Amino acid sequence: MVPILGRILILMALLAASAGALVGFVTGVRPNASGWKWARRLAYAFAAFMVLANLTMEYALLTHDFSVSYVAHVGSRQVPTWVSIVSLWSSLEGSILFWGLVMGLYVAVATWRNADKHPEYMPYAVGVWLACGAFFSFLLAGPAQPFATVLNPVMDGPGPNPLLQNHYLMVIHPPCLYTGYVGMTIPFGLACAALLVGRLGNDFIRPLRNFLLFSWIFLTCAIVLGGWWAYEVLGWGGYWAWDPVENASFLPWLTATAALHSALLVERKGVLKGWTTLLVLATYLLTILGTFMTRSGVFNSVHSFTQSAIGPTILVFLAAALLFSLVLLALRVDSLGTEGHLETGPSRDVMFLVQNLLFVLFTFTVLLGTVFPLIVEAVRGVQMSVGRPYFDRMSVPIGVALLFVMGVGPALPWGRATAQQMRRALLPPLLSAVLLAVAGLLLGVRNAWTLLALLFGGFTAQVTLSEMFLPVRQRMRSHGEGFVEAFRQAQLRGRRRFGAYVTHTGAILAIASIAVSSTMGSSKEVQLNQGETATLGPYSLTFVNAERVTEPHRESLQARVDISKNGRSLGALYPRMNQYENQREPIGTPAVRSSLTEDLYLSIHNIDSDSVGLLVLINPMVSWIWIATAIMALGGLVALVPSTRRVAVTASPPVPAAPVAIEGSR
Amino acid sequence: MTTALTSHPEPAMRRSRVNPKVLVGGLVVALPLLAVLVANLGRDPHSVRSPLIGRPAPAFSLVPVGGGAPVSLEKLSGKPVVINFWATWCVPCFEEHAALTAAARGLPDVQFLGVVYEDEEARTQEFLRQRPSAYPSLIDPEGKSAIAYGVFGVPETFFIDGSGRIVDKYVGPMTRSTIAALVGRAKEGAR
């Protein structure tokens, strides 16, 4: 019964999406009101069927209906309810179903918000979204069917991958990732619509940018949450391994970040329209490439899904989307036109370009490193991996260069800067640059790249903070307002700008803390018998005992390790080794003692009742990476707010309207 | 800027001429990427290359489930051997059980062996009573053979040629065609 209902809902979604795509394109070519109305209705219908299909699956998971193939695959009566709920995205078919849900919601919201705007573009946009939606519905209807009927249902299933049951971050990370990843469909559809129409007006760049930024915020959080999860769960002591699946999420992030910046130039100067469109298209194509990487079984990875038959199907879609985008771009890029011109001398304009090129270079670097093993295996038949050294060697200079551009760009004025302007802009921040680098030296930083990162970080931080509060200072001077009032007023007028600088602050902090944490840490492997003590740096660790902990879905052996730093007791840490029901391999959970300056990280290699093998690491400044990400996301949200409330930021005349609107909404 | 909102340029003004730079540049990036992905589609990440491949198979002498004379690898030399590590709690093992049994029946010149991995003998016996197998399954006390073969999950299957060398290793459930292909290589002998 439930499997049939699920299959019907998927087929209905497929039908709605295919019909809607067709209606959208036809209405785009021959605009008419009823066609647009039907395109919208079908978009909402697609969303509704996806929501219902997902609810059906949740119902099946919660009632342990093992006649549903997906439930038989990942369900178990022995896991807690929250695990049953999140099992929706714990394996291949369910994750595609969840993808459909997120996509349905996005398409519905984007259609609804623009129902009476951009009449030229919107039918095409809906057409493109629903064409993508039709593909994912097709996956669910055939190659990755979650609702297949199991004829002789088992009494109990194996439960989801134990790694996913190990930490609460698994509840947040995948939805966050999908919100970021799938969200890129919306800018993609809008950019395709702009190309199909042959024009990218200033009014239309705004919804494009907003959806891009919204997805970007979630993608940023998701990437770092994934790193955090790896850090807290996988037990090798790091947060990023350049694993193909990590790269899969990082690649679209790079192009999306570039697109967010070039969109600003489109809006401000009317230039780089084709380039921005290209970046937006590339972002979506990279999400599909990432989907292929995680689900085709072609890439070996810690957290790729099991091998499945959907690889070729996704590849066909990727190829079709790629060729469609390319031909569309080649046909229409010239008609998008340019309204202004870009400065060539030292200016903010040029730094924007440099920044964009660096991001694209970064994208190619990561892409090459990710597919290189495949090239080698295809050509020479040898299995190999590029591994961290390549990525580290390539990404460190690019990251440091980005940090530099992030400082110099905002310091320079728009348009060509005179020599005097350059001096005024670039000399003062050198103070913070030198201060931070010297502080680093005094604290023992010897790695040249880390020192460079601190130097540029200091420079960029001073520029960013001074730019962030520039409007406030100007108002305080010109309007004689106090700081709080000036801040509030500046917020109303330039919240987007403020948000951008908040994000930059987060980015500086992130790069600096990544530089420090990856070069300044120390580690040690120890084997301790009961009562024995080992030391690493200022810490001493005493293995007190091992204790067996029994929970419904797992049994763990937990080590109690008493910690003291410089002779002062810091309490105990409890790294553990978990044995899950129905799973063979025990899985360790490291114990981390975090502080703002450094983390003490304990991970179990082996344990029995009277001895334990531990990996001990001191990781400096790791907490700051998480904090920095929160700041970046916050900045993004701040930048998103005024445009959603339509507070006129750049338009000059209707000044009185803005404060009224804000007061009304408070 | 705001005028762009109201004055729509005539659609006739759109001139759709292909920009060759964009098209060629795009194809130069896209086609090799697609080609590499297509070339790797058939690739099976389950065929992990074990360092044991090409080396003599670790020796063992193990008692079959339900008792009987110990089976040892040396005594089987001259004949290709397929060793399948499995367990009753492993769902993929259950899936491949029928394929293995059928293959063992169809290939009398190849010795198939199961090695029970981390499981209770009673449960294994019950499993085999319900689903008879065409070849013996051996009890591996304390998983010593599994360790010697570097097994890190079940099912894992080793293909050994007539001279006692490991020719290939397969991770994950097998189908009849995979078994046939890999047995073929074991019959040819090591590369």
Q: Is A120 on the interface with B (CB under 8 A)?
A: yes
Structural element, H or E, at residue B11? none
Please indicate, yes or no, whether the overall pTM of this predicted structure exceeds 0.95. no
Determine the pLDDT at residue A218: 96
More confident residue, A97 or A418: A97
Residue B87: list chain A partners with CB under 8 A.
584
Comparing CB atoms, the residue among A158, A300, A319 nearest residue B45 is A300
Comparing CB atoms, the residue among B9, B23, B43 nearest residue A326 is B23
Nearest chain A alpha carbon to B50: A383
Q: Is B95 on the interface with A (CB under 8 A)?
A: no
Q: What is the pLDDT of residues A125-147, one digit of tens each?
A: 999 999 999 999 999 998 888 99
Taking residues A217-243, report their average pLDDT. Answer: 87
Determine the pLDDT at residue A346: 83
Taking residues A313-326, report their average pLDDT. Answer: 93
Structural element, H or E, at residue B73? none
Q: Is B44 on the interface with A (CB under 8 A)?
A: yes
Distance from CA of A331 to the nearest CA of B (A): 4
State whether residue A418 is helix, strand or coil: coil
Pick from A18-27, A140-149, A251-260, B179-188: least confident: B179-188
Using the predicted structure, report yes or no on whether residue B191 has a pLDDT greater than 50: no
Secondary structure letter of residue B81 according to DSSP: E
Distance from CA of A487 to the nearest CA of B (A): 29
Q: Which domains does chain A have, with CATH numbers?
A: 1-165 (1.20.120), 428-520+623-665 (no CATH), 525-620 (no CATH)
Taking residues A286-299, report their average pLDDT. Answer: 81
Alpha-carbon distance B34 to A575, whole Å? Answer: 44
Taking residues B17-23, report their average pLDDT. Answer: 87
Q: Phi and psi dihedrals of A377, rounded to 5?
A: -70, -35
Residue A150: list chain B partners with CB under 8 A.
none
Residues pairing with A278 in the sheet = none
Residues pairing with A598 in the sheet = A620
A334 vs B17: CB contact, 8 Å cut-off? Answer: yes
pLDDT category of residue A298 using cuts at 50, 70 and 90 = low
Using the predicted structure, report yes or no on whether residue A553 has a pLDDT greater than 50: yes
A323 vs B30: CB contact, 8 Å cut-off? Answer: yes
State whether residue A557 is helix, strand or coil: strand
Using the predicted structure, report yes or no on whether residue A658 has a pLDDT greater than 50: no
pLDDT category of residue A582 using cuts at 50, 70 and 90 = low
CB A27, CB A39: distance < 8 Å? yes
Please state, for a pLDDT cut of 70, what percent of chain A lies above it: 90
Determine the pLDDT at residue A648: 42
A311 vs B41: CB contact, 8 Å cut-off? Answer: yes
A377 vs B43: CB contact, 8 Å cut-off? Answer: yes
Pick from A112-126, A213-227, A482-496, A535-549: least confident: A482-496
A315 vs B41: CB contact, 8 Å cut-off? Answer: yes
Q: Please calculate the CA angle A233-A239-A241 and round it to the nearest 5 degrees.
A: 110
Alpha-carbon distance A206 to A212, whole Å? Answer: 10
Distance from CA of B168 to the nearest CA of A (A): 15
CB A228, CB A239: distance < 8 Å? yes
Determine the pLDDT at residue A567: 87
Distance from CA of A258 to the nearest CA of B (A): 18
Burial class (CB in 10 A: 0-12, 13-18, 19+), B58: middle
Residue B175: list chain A partners with CB under 8 A.
none
pLDDT category of residue B163 using cuts at 50, 70 and 90 = confident
More confident residue, A384 or B69: B69
Buried b (16+ CB within 10 A) or exposed e, B16-53: eeebeebbeebbeebeebbebbeebeebebbebebebb
Q: Which domains does chain B have, with CATH numbers?
A: 61-188 (3.40.30.10)
State whether residue A149 is helix, strand or coil: strand
- Alpha helices by DSSP H, A63-91: 69-74, 81-86
Nearest chain A alpha carbon to B22: A330
Q: How far apart, in Å, are the Cα atoms of A402 and each of A213, A230, A388, A552?
A: 19, 26, 20, 49
Using the predicted structure, report yes or no on whether residue A308 has a pLDDT greater than 80: no
Structural element, H or E, at residue A328? helix A310-336
Alpha-carbon distance A378 to A249, whole Å? Answer: 24
pLDDT category of residue A642 using cuts at 50, 70 and 90 = low
Determine the pLDDT at residue B44: 55
Alpha-carbon distance A286 to A255, whole Å? Answer: 9
**Complex prediction ipTM:** 0.77
Inter-chain Cβ pairs, chain A and chain B, closer than 8 A: 99
Q: Is B42 on the interface with A (CB under 8 A)?
A: no
Taking residues A474-500, report their average pLDDT. Answer: 86
Strands B81-86 and B156-160 come out as antiparallel
Burial class (CB in 10 A: 0-12, 13-18, 19+), A177: buried
Q: Is B147 on the interface with A (CB under 8 A)?
A: no
Q: Is B43 on the interface with A (CB under 8 A)?
A: yes
Determine the pLDDT at residue A641: 82
Q: Is A335 on the interface with B (CB under 8 A)?
A: yes
Pick from A41-55, A104-118, B67-81: least confident: B67-81
Alpha-carbon distance A200 to A195, whole Å? Answer: 7
Nearest chain A alpha carbon to B18: A331
Distance from CA of B104 to the nearest CA of A (A): 26
Distance from CA of B8 to the nearest CA of A (A): 9
Q: What is the pLDDT of residues A366-397, one digit of tens each?
A: 999 888 877 776 676 555 555 677 888 888 99
